[in-house]
Amino acid sequence: MTNAFTAAESTLLAPNEVDPTQLDGIFGQLAAHQVDDADLYFQYTRSEAWSLEEGQVKSGSFNIDQGVGVRAVVGDKTAFAYSDDIRLPAIREAANTVRAIAAAGQSATTRVPSRTQGRALYAPIDPLASLTESDKVSLLHRLEDYARKQDSRVTQVIASLAGEYEVVFVTRLDGRSAADVRPLVRVSLQVIVEQDGRREQGSAGGGGRFDYAWFSDARLKEYAQLAVDQALTNLNAQPAPAGTMTVVLGSGWPGILLHEAIGHGLEGDFNRKGSSAFSGRIGQRVAADGVTVVDDGTLPDRRGSLNVDDEGTPTQRTVLIENGILRGYMQDGMNARLMGMAPTGNARRESFAHLPMPRMTNTYMLAGDRDPAEIIASVKKGLYAVNFGGGQVDITSGKFVFSAAEAYMIEDGKITYPVKGATLIGNGPDVLTRVSMIGNDMKLDPGVGTCGKEGQSVPVGVGQPTLKIEGLTVGGTH
């Protein structure tokens, strides 16, 4: 296997005739003015996407992107320039643009070269090379076939496959350098079923930081069954009631509600600016007893995991809320420095053309001690939300709205009939205090999450056990 630094050298630097020692001169340019921090972020990405619809390859794309981002930080101000030309003259030009922000005088930092050894959470492989083009198309045909064989009411199937090979190299003003090779693959399936003029849909999929061999026939059959079962469930669903009621959230993907309604509010930038509902509350109770939430970028092969973040800091497991008490925030370098805290390995950027900011990796709630069946049995009347579609949140207030893609009514401790059109409406910090039972079945999502923030998208993971929440507002259709 290729060492990440070797891969960065051969993919990013050598082809552009850049010697790492020459980058000292770039930092000399930046440090000629007073700066608190500066870095160069080199990135090479090769990506592909295939989509099959009605048995035909409807779209296929292949992209190669590379470039370098140059950043200087003074206080809470950032200057940034980027170039898709990695040769030294282009980097120098970007550095000249950036240093205009800095105050007169020289930086005190002396650049002492050192290499940050990141983790080894995934193999430094190129997943795009793990199957031939015909085998990639064959995989999608098999997935479609498995879905159609599930039920005669399946009328439409859309199957897609995506892969990415990314090499990054980041070097900083203080001399620290880090490199990473990041594979990423994903399969998505959407099915539409029809009966008596009524049409419903279901979806499934998964992925992570490995190659296409992960998608065995057994796994593809599992995706097909999950998607078709969800669609057929919705075919028999009745309109969801509206009102305030007990809500039970299923394990796994429903952690997306935790991610949106609570996770974003625990990112360092919002708390430094005082715009989060959690600002200034470290050490205070913000959730019910037993609620422990962590962000963990160190889980092997997970979609949201990284060996190093996009500032070259090794990722870590950060306890955000412990037994209901707020313990910390997710930090990048700048916000950590300004808040007098340590970086947590959460600096992330969509590409070399974007600034890093504090972002989640894999964010999940730890398991409790209750059997999920016991949780369901404890509900007189309520909603059981197993799967979610879209949602949105206001970071400042914590208010959220989420639509359930698959949900059921609970009556007298039993799951009775499926409902559709249910939306969950609430306030993230408030909902944390309403958790009354926590299941022993913590599960991570299947590897499909993408998080958006300030126009940047990055892959993430979510997870949680079955949760019982008292008095949540459900928006329904009757």
Residue 210: strand, helix, or coil: coil
Q: How far apart are CA 144 and CA 317, in angstroms?
A: 38
Taking all residues of the chain, what is their mean pLDDT, rounded to a whole number? 94
Each residue of 113-165: pLDDT tens digit? 899 988 999 999 999 999 999 999 999 999 999 999 999 999 999 999 999 99
DSSP class of residue 434 equals T
pLDDT at 2 over 80: no
Residue 176: strand, helix, or coil: strand
How is residue 378 written in tokens? 């404890």
Each residue of 419-456: pLDDT tens digit? 999 999 999 999 999 999 999 999 999 999 999 999 99
* Torsional sign, CA 102, 105, 107, 111: positive
Each residue of 43-64: pLDDT tens digit? 999 999 999 998 899 888 999 9
Question: Which pTM does this prediction carry?
Answer: 0.95
The runs of H, that is alpha helices, within 9-112 are 23-31, 88-98
CA distances (Å), origin 454, targets 39, 264, 350, 395, 451: 21, 12, 11, 12, 10
* Pairing, β 56-74 against β 77-83: antiparallel
In this structure, are residues 431 and 206 in contact, taking their beta carbons and an 8 Å threshold? no
Collect all residues with Cβ–Cβ distance below 8 Å to 437 and sequence separation of at least 6.
Answer: 368, 370, 374, 375, 378, 467, 468
Q: Return the percent helix, strand and coil in the chain, to nearest 5.
A: 25, 40, 35
What would the mean pLDDT of 176-180 be, rounded to a whole number?
96
Residue-level pLDDT at 167: 98
pLDDT band at 33 (very low <50, low <70, confident <90, very high): confident
pLDDT at 106 over 80: no
Most distant pair of Cα atoms in the chain: their distance: 76
Residue-level pLDDT at 102: 64
R_g over Cα of the chain: 24
The β-bridge partners of 443 are 464
Tell me, rounded to whole angstroms, the distance of Cα 322 from its chain centroid.
22
Nearest partner of 98 among 149, 171, 30, 194, judged by Cα: 30
How deeply is 120 buried, as exposed, middle or buried, from its count of CB atoms within 10 A (0-12, 13-18, 19+)? exposed
Place of tokens 């590897």: 447
Residue-level pLDDT at 260: 85
pLDDT at 348 over 50: yes
